[in-house]
Structure 1
Amino acid sequence: MSLYIDIGLFKFDFTDCHAVLGIPIDADFKDIRQQYLKIARRLHPDSTAAKGEVARQKANDLFSKIVNPAYEKFTTERSRAEYTVLLKDISKRVRQEQNPQFQHEASQELAKTNNIEHTYKTALHKLALNQYEDLDRVLEIIAQISELNLVYLMRQADRAFTSTSQSFPSNVSKALEDSKQTPPPPDAPAPETLVEQYLRRAQKLMEKNNFAHARVELQDALKLEPNNTIAHSLMGIVYLKQNQLTMARVHINKALQLNPNEPMALRSKQVLAEAVPKIEGQTHPAKTTGAGADKPKGGLFGGLFGGKKNK
């Protein structure tokens, strides 16, 4: 499915991820995540209300080829920083527009109102409310929201970008500077499947000890591929970190049953064997404290996430 739109911010050869997700320019990540989950419930094959094979396929294409890539821009510090740099550049360019013409009534109203914030947020909310209800009008609504975003940047310019930057974590400013100095690699990676996206997000969340959200990502992966060895391996670790030993064993044993030689499954089994005595209180203090104690390198996960991606 092609995302060809020639109005709004899209006319600057820029993918307006805010418009795709139906969120305002200054949305913080919590709001972005909530909106993404709302859209996912409407479009995901396991929950969509679309009737008929054609409609269900269209919903899946919108989710995998448009919504997911847009959401990905906000999930990592580097991609978010690069996106923000591009948005800042466009905010400078739009101020140079001479006598711009806007196609939609909401954009025309925003262009002349004195109550910029209220008019912008109200119009955007109205459009986003049913953005993915009529699958045949999705691109049209994305275009309308992007034109609103263009007008908003023209009216608010510097303040709009400042509020966007401040909604991100404090250390994003360093990433912004790094992204200016380090151009993205020339060759784009091969497209990921939906399951690979869930697994990658889950691993990043696990590295940050956000096991509750990682579990949600892994559950979504297993809905699509119930016999995915890596998903079961990671789910075992998640349950282990949440002190749910029975469920941890279930998923790790399932992973080993599916593929006894899968490196991720074998590593998960090792982590389980090392952690269970500590969780159950069977480890003697003398063996776990002091200068002579054995400590796994890199913490409990060791090299679980540090190596190359397992195929």
Structure 2
Amino acid sequence: MPSSPASRPSQPPHEPGSRPRVIVTRKLAPAVEARMAELFDVTLNVDDHAFTRDELAAAMADCDVLVPTVTDVLDAELIAGAGDRLKLLANFGAGVDHIDLKAARARGIIITNTPGVFTDDTADMTMALILSVPRRLAEGEKLVRSGQWEGWSPSGMLGHRIGGKQLGIVGMGRIGQAVAHRARGFGLNIVYHNRRRLPESLEQMLGATFEPDLDALIAGSDIITLHCPRSPETRGIIDARRIGLMKSSAYLINSARGELVDEAALIEALEASRIAGAGLDVYPREPQVDARLLALKNVVLLPHVGSATFEGREVAGHKVIANIRFWFDGHRPPDQVLEGWM
């Protein structure tokens, strides 16, 4: 079967020794930027500001390759207005839900990402939230800094142990599996919900039980952690009704995408103590965080740092470089996002 135009490498004609015109929308690791400057005709984002819509439009009209990140929403209108020379969106990061894939493919634009790089980093941070929220670690740290701590007492700063509790994992891809692997070592009972059930051998290795009914998983779990991509189907997947199914002693952890949760319903449940707490690394209107969340003691709030390691960010940058080089040399990029990615 012949491949579609968007699945074949596509590049502007170039003379031997020429370099692709590349625009990078955010500041990357120094070693990555230095290597890009050696290989490409590159424009870097020196002050690391988030591109405005007008800046994105201008960049897309003036390059062969755009290197966007999750902060750049590339919708159908922007892609339709891109210059004819734009042939590759070399995304920095695994998630590409900020890009209208259908519109890009219709223009013959290749999309690549950096899969697998941040799996362990995000899973480590998720486990930190799973531990910190029930044990009130952030609240305790603030107490010490405030100078109001009066010393140890048998009833002071009591939290909940996590050993023996049920961890409900929503989305069992790379990160969900990495979380399950870590959680098993802490004695958590792991139940997961996924579009497709994992092979039995993998379930046994992870000590995970499949629950096809998401409502049942939510109602039965002591800690719920989200690891599914943002899509029309998953937007608001944890809505007011499902928050209402949670135990009053349960905790919600979200290190995936802020749009997966009905934030207003979550805040209402937290304020009324209808659930025990939450650990959040992502928000629906980043970098804005609802002031009501800031006022709650039973919430741990992080500034979208799931992938924020020196090692991971540098490896991701070099993956971007590899994808650009493969494409410019006329080969299929190793991390091309294909049909049916979601």
Tell me the TM-score range normalised by the shorter chain: under 0.3
Instruction: Give the TM-score of the pair, scaled to structure 1.
Output: 0.21
Instruction: Give the TM-score of the pair, scaled to structure 2.
Output: 0.20
> Which structure shows the bigger proportion of residues in strand conformation?
2
> Which structure shows the bigger proportion of residues in helix conformation?
1
